[in-house]
Amino acid sequence: MDRTEVKETAYPTTLRAQFRRHLPQYLVGTLTLAVFQLAMNRIDWQSKAAIDRVFGPDPATAWKPAAVMLALALGAFLARVASRWFMFNAGRDAEYELRHELLRKLHQLGSAFYRKMPAGEIMSRSTSDLQQVRMLLGFGVLNLANVLFAFASALQVMLRVHPGLALACLLNLPLVTVISRSVSRGLYLRMRDNQAALGRMSDVLQANLAGVRVVRSFALEDRERERFEAENRAYLDASLALARLRGSLAPTIGAVASIGILVFFWYGSTLLLRGPEHGGISQGAFFAFWSAFARMTWPMIAVGFALSVVQRGRAGFARLRDVFDAEPEVVDGPRPAPARVEGELSVEHLSFRYGARAVLDDVTFRVAPGQSLAIVGRTGSGKSTLAMLLARLLPTPPGAVRIDGVDVCELPLQAVRAVLGYAQQDAFLFSTTVSRNIGFALDDAESGPAQARVREAAREAQVLEEAALLPEGFDTVVGERGVQLSGGQKQRIALARALVWEPTILILDDPLSAVDAKTEGAILDAIERQAARRTVLLVTHRVAAAARCDRIVVLDEGKVVEQGTHDELVEAGGIYAAFAEEQKMASELEELDAAPEVVAS
């Protein structure tokens, strides 16, 4: 199967459907398993023939069955390899496809889902739970099928040789099954504990990695180490408990099975001594029986183990279903993508709530193509929520947001995102190079033209010089979430990423919060140049930035309280005017503070 061609739509996400999907592989695998066990059965019979000839009148002919045995052994080997190949591959293919599907689904799901399911949980589902499912679909299915064939193949030899002996030897079979089942239950529980302990340890580790600076700045390394130590020890204990039980399984089964072996040697050897002429068995039959009997032992152990694998796989799959069955909040609209977009953005009666909490209330405004609009408001007034609703990163109510008069909910998400460029407030960087972070949205980020665009965007975002000064320039890897960069650098790289996309409508959520006044001025110049070519929506709490936009909307507790140009709003003497006054005084104070130093130097 071509691994790159996983279907994008309606991928089967039930266990049964998975099974059906890989049915050909399972059928071939089952067939080769049957061939393998059949060959093993024939080998037993050939060994009987060979030994009987050795003890018979013409020992020189014993090579013939021996040669057949050799050929059969080769065939058995090939069949066994093939069965594993097909069955294990079915499991691996299913794992690969399910993981692919998992990421696709995770891309669709919105913040409501991620609030319920933390990153650690998602990670454990996409790694260890998926692994359990693979074990079920590969190892589990293979062993269950193998057990059936192995029993049939061995039993045929044993019953044909001597039904009474077969019955006697298998008297302890129910006991073996009971033990392996009860041990497998214990195994299941301990494996679950083990997985949970691993999860908790990884959680502490992950939190410490992500918050390494916080931990260090509060000098809490010792406390965190102790916390980690406790989880690490718990994991060790759980692993040891599991290992003890797992280690005792084979010896226990072996001990019980040895009762059968005892019966075999006691009863079997009486039959052997009696000889076939007097109702007993021949040397060859004795050996063939023994060989078939021995072949049963592993499948007996494996039944219990395979059953536990199946249980774990089903449990793992149930956890995957939590993701697969989650409903995405934001879905594609039915209309085709528009051929050309002018960039008019209108918001009408937009209200939004997070659960019971109302955040936006009847917001209405309009930005003409090529115009710029500033959204100003106190912290928590709903600015970022508004920006995300425009980009359909949250479930936008139908009819509330229109691009060129078309409801964004009617459009395919791809079309909306192709038109809208969005730089989020908390700049997120991937753990890759500066260049790839900026060119993230470009198809061929390594190509010459793309590189030129990356540099141009970096220049516009005022980060070109600093990026060039990094140890490896634009090829410097920024570290996990950009730890190696300053807050302002991160922010400007994220800004460059939005600019490089050259969207018709550009939404910038507070891109200036972490830069100094001089850089802010330069970026505002760039944004102004951008605004000449496209519609710009600038979320900011800086009056200096807002003043340079064509219009300003003031949000307060989710409501539009003022709307107009800078001059109009200052004139009106409302919240915006108060902001302007506050910020003017603050900057004058700063200048006063700075002045003596200027004189002194």
Task: Please give the residue ranges that form the binding site for ligand ATP (CB under 6 A).
Answer: 111, 354, 357, 359, 377, 379-385, 425, 541
Q: How far, in Å, CA of 131 to CA of 106, rounded?
A: 18
Min separation Cβ 425 and ligand ATP, Å: 6
Q: Please count the residues of this chain forming the interface with Mg ion, following the rule CB under 5 A.
A: 3
DSSP letters spanning 89-126: HHHHHHHHHHHHHHHHHHHH--HHHHHHS-HHHHHHII
Q: Among ligand ATP, Mg ion, none, what binds residue 458 when CB lies within 5 to 8 Å by partner kind? A: none
Q: Among Mg ion, ligand ATP, none, what binds residue 354 when CB lies within 5 to 8 Å by partner kind? A: ligand ATP
Q: Among ligand ATP, Mg ion, none, what binds residue 381 when CB lies within 5 to 8 Å by partner kind? A: ligand ATP
CB closer to ligand ATP, 302 vs 560: 560
Our finding on whether 252 is near Mg ion (CB under 5 A) is no
CB closer to ligand ATP, 84 vs 392: 392
CB within 8 Å of 417: residues ≥ 6 apart: 391, 392
Min separation Cβ 546 and Mg ion, Å: 15
Residue whose C-beta lies closest to Mg ion: 384
CB closer to ligand ATP, 51 vs 506: 506
Min separation Cβ 558 and Mg ion, Å: 13
Min separation Cβ 388 and ligand ATP, Å: 8
The single-letter code of the amino acid at 192 is R
Helices (H) and strands (E) in the chain, counts: 22, 10
CB closer to Mg ion, 30 vs 424: 424
CB closer to ligand ATP, 52 vs 510: 510
Q: Among ligand ATP, Mg ion, none, what binds residue 377 when CB lies within 5 to 8 Å by partner kind? A: ligand ATP
Q: How far is CA 63 from CA 59, 271, 281, 286, in A?
A: 9, 26, 22, 19
Min separation Cβ 386 and ligand ATP, Å: 7
Q: Among ligand ATP, Mg ion, none, what binds residue 111 when CB lies within 5 to 8 Å by partner kind? A: ligand ATP
Q: How far, in Å, CA of 300 to CA of 176, rounded?
A: 7
Min separation Cβ 498 and ligand ATP, Å: 17
CB closer to Mg ion, 108 vs 425: 425
CB closer to ligand ATP, 308 vs 396: 396
The single-letter code of the amino acid at 25 is Q
Kindly tell me which residue out of 425, 432, 451, 513 binds Mg ion, with binding defined by CB under 5 A: 425
CB closer to ligand ATP, 206 vs 425: 425
Report which secondary-structure segment, H or E, holds 348. Answer: strand 345-354
CB closer to ligand ATP, 307 vs 546: 546
In a 3-state reduction of DSSP, which class is residue 3? Answer: coil
Min separation Cβ 26 and ligand ATP, Å: 44
Q: How far, in Å, CA of 566 to CA of 543, rounded?
A: 9
Listed ranges 164-172, 256-264, 351-359, 384-392: which one lies at the site for Mg ion (CB under 5 A): 384-392
* 3-class DSSP string for 193-220: HHHHHHHHHHHHHHHHHHCHHHHHHCCC
Our finding on whether 384 is near Mg ion (CB under 5 A) is yes
Break the chain down into helix, strand, coil percent, rounded to 5: 65, 10, 20
- Burial class from Cβ neighbours inside 10 Å (0-12, 13-18, 19+) for residue 329 reads middle
Min separation Cβ 541 and ligand ATP, Å: 6
Min separation Cβ 476 and ligand ATP, Å: 29
Listed ranges 67-75, 122-130, 192-200, 376-384: which one lies at the site for Mg ion (CB under 5 A): 376-384
Q: How far, in Å, CA of 171 to CA of 258, rounded?
A: 12
Q: Residue 490: which of 517, 518, 470 has the closest Cα?
A: 470
CB closer to ligand ATP, 384 vs 504: 384
CB closer to ligand ATP, 425 vs 519: 425
Q: Among ligand ATP, Mg ion, none, what binds residue 359 when CB lies within 5 to 8 Å by partner kind? A: ligand ATP
Q: Among Mg ion, ligand ATP, none, what binds residue 435 when CB lies within 5 to 8 Å by partner kind? A: none
Q: Among Mg ion, ligand ATP, none, what binds residue 491 when CB lies within 5 to 8 Å by partner kind? A: none
Q: How far, in Å, CA of 576 to CA of 542, rounded?
A: 10
CB within 8 Å of 387: residues ≥ 6 apart: 375, 422, 424, 425, 507, 509, 537, 539
Q: How far, in Å, CA of 139 to CA of 159, rounded?
A: 29
Q: How far is CA 280 from CA 37, 161, 283, 289, 467, in A?
A: 27, 10, 10, 13, 90
Q: Among ligand ATP, Mg ion, none, what binds residue 16 when CB lies within 5 to 8 Å by partner kind? A: none
Which DSSP category does 433 fall into?
Answer: B
Q: Among ligand ATP, Mg ion, none, what binds residue 380 when CB lies within 5 to 8 Å by partner kind? A: ligand ATP
Where do runs of H (alpha helix) occur along 325-391? 383-390
Our finding on whether 563 is near Mg ion (CB under 5 A) is no
Residues that bind Mg ion (CB under 5 A): 383-384, 425
